[in-house]
């Protein structure tokens, strides 16, 4: 279970094509992370869809350290 997932902003228009999890890796494909979140492996994160593409984002809380793009 990751407490921090950061987007790499490495897509053509700055979208997150990959994510980083401290201690695990810095280039984890979006498809992998989205699948893990859907399986409930990272309960503090959710999946949202934009223009037919699924992305990971932190669930709302009072913390900023777990925001994907901060």
Tens-place pLDDT, residues 6-63: 999 999 999 999 999 999 989 999 999 999 999 999 999 999 999 999 999 988 877 7
Model confidence band, residue 70 (pLDDT cutoffs 50, 70, 90): low
Structural domain includes residue 41: yes
- For residues 28 and 14, the answer to whether their CB atoms sit within 8 Å is no
Domain total for the chain?
A: 1
Query: How many whole angstroms separate alpha carbon 18 and alpha carbon 60?
Result: 21
Q: Is residue 31 part of a domain?
A: yes
What pTM was estimated for this model as a whole? 0.86
Domain around 11: 6-58
List CB contacts of 49: < 8 A, sequence separation 6 or more: 55
User: Please, is 62 exposed, middle or buried when counting C-beta atoms within 10 Å of its C-beta (0-12, 13-18, 19+)?
Assistant: exposed
Tell me what pLDDT residue 59 has. 86
Looking at residue 66, its pLDDT comes to: 63
């Amino acid at each position: 279970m990751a407490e921090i997932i950061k987007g790499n902003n490495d897509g053509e228009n700055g979208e997150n094509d990959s994510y980083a999890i401290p201690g695990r890796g810095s280039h984890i494909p979006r498809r992998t992370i989205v699948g893990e979140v859907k399986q409930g492996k990272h309960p503090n994160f959710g999946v949202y869809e934009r223009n037919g593409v699924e992305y990971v984002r932190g669930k709302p809380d009072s913390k900023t350290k777990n925001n994907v793009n901060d």
